[in-house]
Amino acid sequence: MKVLVTGGAGFIGSNFLHYVVNKYPNDKFVCLDALTYAGNYSNLYPILNKENFKFVKGDITDREFLDNLFSHENFDCVVNFAAESHVDNSIKNPEIFLKTNILGTQCLMDMSLKYKVKRYHQVSTDEVYGDLPLDKPELLFTEDTPIRTSSPYSASKASADLLVQAYIRTFNLPATISRCSNNYGPYQFPEKLIPVVISKAIKNENIPVYGTGENVRDWIHVHDHNVGIDLILRNGKIGEVYNLGGRSEKTNLELVKLILKLLKKPEDLITFVPDRKGHDLRYAIDSSKIERELGWKREYEFEKGIEETINWYLKNQKWMDEIFSGEYKQKYKENN
């Protein structure tokens, strides 16, 4: 089969492509990415020479471009990772989030209907459920938890999810949705908490922590997320939502202290900064549906995953330096 993977030069999408391009040599994978500031062509170096892989630069909100691509490629499946993904940016400038995350999803679904794609998968987030109180650890998000968003980012992702559900009901789009908790792993853009902490700690720089650092996140290794998406794409039931979580809740402060300990750096690098506006308190996700129905199982315990991840960033400091210097933006031109 032929699969279109949008946003595949970003963090989760590139890890997904590394996994599936190698796992399914008889399937073909086309990565479509606009290479925004968060897209890094060099994330795709490990698979660029594979015969079943191709990169196309383009924007998911560009209907004419998409129509041309879909008419030539005859895709069986579409997996939509492409998004503006950083909450802080959505607080500063919501508009691009609405355009990419909502209208981009609509354009992709319109093309999927027009060209009779057999499966459309929307990569969503647990942030659409809002947050949970800190004093009720027994509460988890299930697929039936009402949508209740806090940031322009989560509102845009939730809007896209609702639109996907409307296209399933109204137009019979054969689609599925996954909602995952916070990912960590290789190739994460150093604007998100874990790579920020690692890169600053390596350079002995101050590490900003929002508020008192008590906000809780449920961390999942990116590989486990991607195994889940692949299972849903191949065996998931049309019309269904599947939650994916790491069962690994940590306060931000605990997480930062753990990374500092593993890097043998002092805790006094931690600097508390004014809290993020509308900051969600706690995310925690119940993944029992995908475990029960599709046999998904996490491979990574957090302790093992975070050590591996830290080692990856230590070994790949050039990758990080190229982002900080802006050099990564030239990688596509250099290779095409």
Ligand X SMILES: NC(=O)c1ccc[n+]([C@@H]2O[C@H](COP(=O)([O-])OP(=O)(O)OC[C@H]3O[C@@H](n4cnc5c(N)ncnc54)[C@H](O)[C@@H]3O)[C@@H](O)[C@H]2O)c1
**153 part of the active site:** yes
* Residue 244 bridge partners (DSSP): 180
Q: Closer to ligand X at the Cβ: 121 or 265?
A: 121
Judge whether 127 counts as a catalytic residue: yes
Helix, strand or coil for residue 13? helix
Question: Total residues at the site for ligand X (CB under 6 A)?
Answer: 29
Work out whether 242 is an interface residue with ligand X (CB under 6 A).
no
Comparison of 16 and 253: residue with beta carbon closer to ligand X: 16
Distance (Å, whole) CA 113 – CA 107: 10
Q: Which of 17, 78, 83, 209 binds ligand X (CB under 6 A)?
A: 83
The answer to whether the Cα torsion of 318, 319, 322, 323 is positive or negative is: negative
Q: Looking at 2-10, 226-234, 288-296, 327-335, which segment touches ligand X (CB under 6 A)? A: 2-10
Sites for ligand X among residues 52-81 (CB under 6 A):
59-61, 81
For position 249 contacting ligand X by CB under 6 A, the verdict is no
Strands (E), the chain: 2-6, 28-33, 53-57, 77-80, 119-125, 175-180, 182-184, 207-210, 216-221, 241-244, 249-251, 270-273
Closest approach, Cβ 280 to ligand X, in A, equals: 13
- The residue within the footprint of ligand X, chosen from 1, 36, 67, 210 (CB under 6 A), is 36
Q: Does 177 bind ligand X (CB under 6 A)?
A: no
Is 131 tagged catalytic?
no
* CB of 128 closer than 8 Å to CB of 160: no
The answer to the question of residue 193 lying near ligand X (CB under 6 A) is no
End-to-end CA distance of the chain: 26
- The span of 130-138, 177-185, 289-297, 314-322 binding ligand X (CB under 6 A) equals 177-185
Question: Measured from the CB atom, is 120 or 189 closer to ligand X?
Answer: 189
Binding flag, residue 183, ligand X (CB under 6 A): yes
By CB under 6 A, name the one of 4, 9, 253, 285 that touches ligand X: 9
233 binds ligand X (CB under 6 A): no
Classify residue 208 by burial, with Cβ atoms within 10 Å: 0-12, 13-18, 19+.
Answer: middle
Contact 120, 131 (CB under 8 A): no
Distance CA 246, CA 181 (A): 7
DSSP string for 113-136: HHTT-SEEEEEEEGGGG--B-TT-
- For residue 39, state whether it binds ligand X (rule: CB under 6 A): yes
Output the CA torsion 20→81→189→17 (10° steps): 10
- Which position among 112, 159, 182, 243 is part of the footprint of ligand X (CB under 6 A)? 182
β-partners of residue 243 are 179
Which x/- pattern, by CB under 6 A, does the window 123-152 give for ligand X? x-x---------------------------
C-alpha 90/C-alpha 127 separation (Å) is: 13
Among 3, 4, 5, 12, binds ligand X (CB under 6 A): 12
Rg of the chain (C-alpha set): 19
Does 305 participate in binding ligand X (rule CB under 6 A)?
A: no
From 33, 59, 84, 126, the catalytic residue: 126
| Nearest residue (CB) to ligand X, 190 versus 211 | 190
Q: Which residues bind ligand X (CB under 6 A)?
A: 6-7, 9-13, 33-36, 38-39, 59-61, 81-83, 85, 100, 104, 123, 125, 157, 180, 182-183, 189
- Catalytic residue numbers read 126-127, 153
